[in-house]
Structure 1
Amino acid sequence: MQECPYTDKCYRKNPIHFKEYKHAHLDAIYAKGCAAGSAEYDIPSKYSNELINQQLKLLEKLFPKAAKETAAPEKPAKPSVALVAPSSAPPACSKPVPKELPTASTSRADDNSNLAKKQKLSERNIRDYIPVVVEKGRMAAKLERAAPYNMFLTAITDSKPTHQEPLSITLQEILDESLGEIESSVQINFMIDIGWLLGHYYFAGILDKPLLVLYGDESPELLSIGKFKPQVTAIRVKMPTPFATSHTKLMLLGYANGGMRVVISTANLYEDDWHNRTQGLWISPLLPALPEDADTSAGESPTGFKQDLMLYLVEYKLSQLQPWIARLRKSDCSAVNVFFIGSVPGGHRESAVRGHPWGCARLGSLLAKHATPIDDRIPVVCQSSSIGSLGANVQAWIQQDFVNNLRKDSQPVGRLRQMPALKMIYPSFGNVSRSHDGMLGGGCLPYGKNTNDKQPWLKQHLQQWKSGDRHRSQAMPHIKSYTRFNLEEQCIYWFVLTSANLSKAAWGSFNKNSNIQPCLRIANYEAGVLFLPRFVTGEDTFPLGNARDGVPAFPLPYDVPLTPYGPDDTPFLMDYLQG
């Protein structure tokens, strides 16, 4: 058994990983604890107590004999174990496989009392894997009630009010059979814990259905998953540069009735991101299959969503996506009321047909065409889980490229305009220290000291993370959103939910060579949606705070008015977890 490539920096909590790789630092702590016969482990101060304890508890469950031994310390034996459990049982996840779990071979002839017993048992066992469980069969009604925005935040384990909130959601609900019988699916994401994901597929009853996985982060488990689960095809997205990231979080769900659904998210597919972190998701309405004789241009939405998403999927240049692109082309997307906003790696120029295709320039061109006129005094409000290297001052990239696009509206070009202010919501050290997970709550906020030290000007634009109205002030935000709103008039002009953090890599930066047509250079794959009132509600703005003339208020993920950083506040830096 080879040593884990992450050595003592390993953050994994998936049994598949621990069955395939050894961890010398954990083995030493584990063996010493077994020898001492103590219920607690002596964990060196350089490690995170909470993470190491969770990993050690996992070892106890995987190798219980070693956990009970109290003889002289020795490395616990790791028995030979299949990488993934048989198809009749859930795959290895971040929780132990329940022994009593009903299998697919359960007889249909069981009497009613026995069936009821098994249903209760199944519910109990699903709670061993998934901390927030919602009654099955109700997601279709919940999605219908979420119209016209169809935007949700993930349920927070340690915030009980979110478990019942109408606009909270779990991954199981996205896979719920009330939305349709899933016959195949695609998961495009940065980080994927395949055991955890397949555990959800098991409980949704779709473990044996074809699954295509496109992932960005290195994952030894995904390299060989096809050998053990032939229905899973896993492909790591190749990036043109070492610093580029396949950062999109997108699901394509295909149903047995021929329809499909698109889900655009901010959450990675592993346990922590669906635990105590604030994440956002947009779920499309059902996209029915078009008649066989339908025109090729049929089924497009007023926002051009179908064409834009197809063009985005084509950019991956993967034959495995071709059937899904064809399926999308033959789907009726006319009910979609949002715009697709994507980023793809490369240099991109404006075209006469489509305008700017990607990144901040694409968002700017849509705002210039469709956004109602906005007073220049209204700030651009950004919120993300990381911040890139933005330059020596606010003018360098923020104003010249980014805000210059996000300030656009449908006012005629020509009159003198002011540059609106920037407000950036990012958790402070105090926000994180008071989170549900304490300092570990900052594990999803990879903003470093070296970058922060180079842009001291940013602090005057920073705002605290507060989400009391949504019961998520202590759930650190991995969500990313961008908007402009007017507190006096209680309205929102537009809103973007996306995987894109505030960075040049995600949104793109223009070359400054005046001798050629401006080229927007983007490093990452990103995906998001733009909510524009005219297409969602038929009005010029969204209501803020309260419903207006029967139109529900837009579900902002944070509290307004915003709370600026105080003189003693500092942004949370990943370095705080490393020393």
Structure 2
Amino acid sequence: MKECPYGEKCYRKNPIHFGEFSHAHLDAIFEKGNGSGDYDIPVKYSSEMIQTQLKLLEKLFPKSGAKKEKEANVCASNPPVTASISSGSSTSGSSSTNPSGSSTSRSAAPQDTSNLAKKQKLNAKNIRDYIPVVLEKGKMAQKLERAAPYNMFLTAITDSKPTHSEPLSITLQEILDESLGEIESTVQINFMVDIGWLLGHYYFAGILDKPLLVLYGDESPELLGISKFKPQVTAIHVRMPTPFATSHTKMMFLGYSDGSMRVVISTANLYEDDWHNRTQGLWISPKLPALPEDADTGAGESRTGFKQDLMLYLVEYKISQLQPWIARIRKSDFSAINVFFLGSVPGGHRESTVRGHPWGHARLGAILSKHAAPIDDRIPVICQSSSIGSLGPNVQAWIQQDFVNSLKKDSTPVGKLRQMPAFKMIYPSFGNVSGSHDGMLGGGCLPYGKNTNDKQPWLKEHLQQWKASDRHRSRAMPHIKSYTRYNLEQQSVYWFVLTSANLSKAAWGCFNKSSNIQPCLRIANYEVGVLFLPRFVTGEDTFPLGNNRDGVPAFPLPYDVPLTPYASDDKPFLMDYLQG
């Protein structure tokens, strides 16, 4: 059995990982214990994490003959997936922030793929051995119908029982539920993909043999050559034009046997930890039926232009395997979609006479200036993300001049003197993380580093705590990313963005200004999100906040309002706290 490349720093809690990799420090503790939870854990380790990992070892390798069994094979009590259906499981360790402010993650050392075919098949066990939150099958279509008109969900939190029955909580297994349609093929575009874990979900959903196209951003040895072992899986690593750029999009396409399809836009990576005790957001489209064969070229478009924007985005990848899906999208009826597609693609982008600004924060600003109801300048711009990039020496440098300058726009006629609205940033404090379900390890999804933070001390006066008691997620650290403006006095939300894009220049773009040429928006990453604008979703100027209004359901904000600013002794959580 291979030694885990992260050794003592490994904080995985996936049983698949412990079935494939050994950990000398855990083995030493495990062998001295009695196999029933009584262990002498050295003080230098996080006892909570070590206890969790030891419990996994107890389950995988019962104390009687444990060492022999571990060396021989993975016992039958392991979940029924990965070794028999994939090329391995993710061994990604802690994240970090690169100079562009985008999130990256360490990958495991390459595996010897010749061993993959030799892995023994595992006996099928109950789904609950593999997925901690399991809801009744066949109910998702009803849940999605009740979620209208927003169709926005948060992931269920393993250690927060109220979220398991919350109407707007969701599991990955529900997204694959047969009540939404009989799946014939899928696409997964994501940054981090644990293919073993993902195929485990496909196994339990009964679609393991269906074609799956995976576009992934993070280096993943397990995905290299997987088609040799799983011919139904095509995996393509998205190559980036610059060293610190990231293919950070999180999006799914579900194709159904009746010719229809569905789009899912998410903030969650496709690996276990992101669907465990982290707050994630997802938007799920209505079912998009196939258009008649003789339909016009422009038929089936939504009022928001979603279909055209999505196809233009996919073309930017220049990946031939996406062509059949672009064609399928073109021949599908997207008219039921009521949100705008927001994308970021790498490169330098200028405003065009046809589409205006095509990508990034400038695209968001262009839509707001055309469609958003007038907003008082005193209404702040609220930002919330799981990482923060290098924003400059002061709030004016990029936040105000570029980012908030786009997000402050509305349909007020040009010429009126406007003020710069306040900027507020929701980001977990050290106290938020230390009190989370996973303790300090709950900060593993928050790759904001000390080097970056030290260069922007001005940011602290804009920081707000993570609190989500109304949604039972105050202790579930946010990997969700969202941007909005709302009015507490009038209990109204003017607009809301759910996206993969963190607060960074790499994700949203930075104007390269010159007096001689038209400003060019430089973007490093691939990102995808959706914009909820009331006029297109409910036909009104604002969404209700907190309570329903005249039969219109309140917009489901993922956090509590009013916000709670950092106290003088608060500090943002930094990834360095996990590495010390």
Give the distance between the partners of 1:465 and 1:208, measured in 2 at CA.
41
- Name the residue aligned to 2:131: 130
Aligned pairs for 1:166-565 (under 5 A) are 166-565=167-566
Q: How many Å separate the matches in 1 of 2:334 and 2:373?
A: 25
Q: Residue 77 of structure 1 aligns with which residue? A: 71
CA deviation profile, 1:283-304 (whole Å, cap 9, x unmatched) = 0000000011111110000000
Provide the rounded CA distance (Å) in 2 between the counterparts of 1:437 and 1:447.
18
Match of 1:106 in 2: none
User: How much has 1:99 moved relative to structure 2?
Assistant: 3.7
The answer (yes or no) to whether the contact 2:89–2:222 under 8 Å persists in 1 is no
Distance 2:301 2:321 in 1: 23
Tell me if 1:68 matches 2:66: yes
Does structure 2 conserve the Cα–Cα contact (< 8 Å) formed by 1:342 and 1:358?
Answer: yes
- Matches of 2:436 and 2:56 in 1, distance apart? 24
Give the superposition deviation at 1:211.
0.6
SS at match of 1:77: helix
Partner of 1:34: 31
Pair 1:35–1:162, CA change in 2 (3 A): closer
Question: Relative to 1, partners in 2 of residues 1:434 and 1:28: Cα closer, same or farther, differing over 3 Å?
Answer: closer
**2-structure distance, mates of 1:421, 1:353:** 32
Residues 493 and 540, structure 1, Cα contact 8 Å, conserved in 2:
yes
TM-score norm. by structure 1 comes to 0.89
Question: Once the 2 structures are TM-superposed, how far is the Cα of residue 224 of structure 1 from its aligned partner?
Answer: 3.2
d(CA) in 1 for partners of 2:240, 2:41: 38
Give 3-state SS (helix, strand or coil) of 2:265's partner.
strand
TM-superposed deviation, 1:68: 3.3
SS of the residue 1:325 aligns to: helix
Secondary structure of the residue that 1:251 maps to in structure 2?
strand
C-alpha displacement of 1:573: 1.2
Deviation at residue 462 of structure 1 after TM alignment: 0.7
Query: In the superposition, relative to structure 1, how do residues 66 and 320 fare at CA in structure 2: closer, same or farther (>3 Å)?
Result: farther
Q: Aligned letter for 2:418?
A: R
Deviation at 1:178, TM superposition (A): 0.4
Identity %: 81
Q: Matched residue of 2:469: which SS?
A: coil
Deviation (angstroms), 1:216: 1.1
Change (3 A) 1:560 1:35: closer
**Distance in 1, Cα, partners of 2:29 & 2:143:** 50
What's the secondary structure of 2:71's corresponding residue? coil
User: Shift of the alpha carbon at 1:449?
Assistant: 1.3
8 A Cα contact 1:537 1:551, kept in partner: yes
Matching residue's letter, 1:494: W
* 1:513 positional shift: 2.1
More deviation, 464-473/218-227: 218-227
Shift of 1:33: 3.7
Contiguous gaps of at least 5 residues in structure 2: 91-119
1:466-494 CA-to-partner distances (Å, cap 9, x unmatched) read: 11111111111111000000111111110
Assess, with a 3 A threshold, how the Cα gap between structure 1 residues 304 and 100 changes in structure 2: closer, same or farther: closer
Tell whether the 8 Å contact from 2:83 to 2:196 is kept in structure 1 after alignment. no
The 1:513/1:317 distance shift into structure 2, 3 A limit, reads same
Matched to 1:559, the amino acid is D
What is the distance in 2 between the residues matched to 1:67 and 1:265?
44
Distance 1:547 1:443 in 2: 36
Distance apart, 1:54 and its partner CA:
4.5
What do the CA deviations read for 1:213-252 (whole angstroms, capped 9, x no partner)? 1111122211132222111111111111221111111000
Q: Give TM-score scaled by structure 2 length.
A: 0.89
Quote how far apart the aligned CAs of 1:27 are. Answer: 2.6
Instruction: Give the deviation of 1:34 after TM superposition.
Output: 2.1
SS at match of 1:568: coil
- Evaluate the alpha carbon distance shift between residue 216 and residue 42 of structure 1 in structure 2; reply closer, same or farther with a 3 A threshold: farther
1:309-346 alpha-carbon deviations (Å, 9 max, x no partner): 01111111111111111100000000000000011111
Moved more, 360-369 or 444-453: 444-453
Task: Decide whether aligned partners of structure 1 residues 410 and 338 sit closer, same or farther in structure 2, where only a CA change above 3 A counts.
Answer: same
- Cα-Cα RMSD: 2.7
- Aligned amino acid, residue 31 of structure 2: C
* Equivalent pair of 1:506/1:524 in contact (CA under 8 Å): yes
Q: Given the alignment of the two structures, is residue 156 of structure 1 paired with residue 157 of structure 2, yes or no?
A: yes
Does the Cα contact within 8 Å between 1:309 and 1:340 map onto a contact in 2? yes
Describe the SS at the equivalent of 1:469: helix
Alpha-carbon distance in structure 1 between the residues aligned to 2:346 and 2:391: 19
Q: How many pairs does the alignment contain?
A: 548
Q: How many angstroms apart in 2 are the aligned matches of 1:155 and 1:67? A: 37
Which AA in structure 2 matches 1:506? Answer: A
Q: Could you report, residue by residue, the CA deviation over 1:253-306 in whole angstroms, capped at 9, with x for unpaired residues?
A: 000000000000001111111111111000000000001111111000000000
CA distance in structure 2 between the aligned counterparts of 1:81 and 1:236, rounded to whole angstroms: 33
- Could you tell which deviates more after superposition, 332-341 or 233-242? 233-242
Q: Is the 8 A contact 1:30 1:41 kept in 2?
A: no
SS at match of 2:519: coil
- 1:264 counterpart letter in structure 2: I
- Asked whether the equivalents of residues 28 and 75 of structure 1 are also in contact (C-alpha less than 8 Å), the reply is no
Relative to structure 1, the CA distance from residue 200 to residue 356 in structure 2 (aligned partners, 3 Å threshold; closer, same or farther) is: same
Q: Distance in 2 between matches of 1:79 and 1:129?
A: 19
Aligned to 2:342, the other structure's residue is in SS state: strand
Deviation for aligned residue 1:548: 1.0
Higher alpha-carbon deviation: 418-427 or 42-51: 42-51
Q: Does the CA-based 8 Å contact 2:17-2:89 persist in structure 1?
A: no
* Cα deviations by residue, 1:416-447 (Å, 9 ceiling, x for unpaired): 11000001111111111111111111111111
- Amino acid across the alignment from 1:481: S
Q: Which has the higher contact order (CA 8 A, sep 6+)?
A: 2
Describe the SS at the equivalent of 2:343. strand
Q: Give the conservation status (yes or no) of the 8 Å contact 2:443–2:573.
A: yes
Letter in 2 for 1:202: Y
Note if contact 2:381-2:423 (Cα within 8 Å) is conserved in structure 1: yes
Change (3 A) 1:15 1:567: closer
Q: Which residue identity does 1:281 align to in structure 2?
A: L
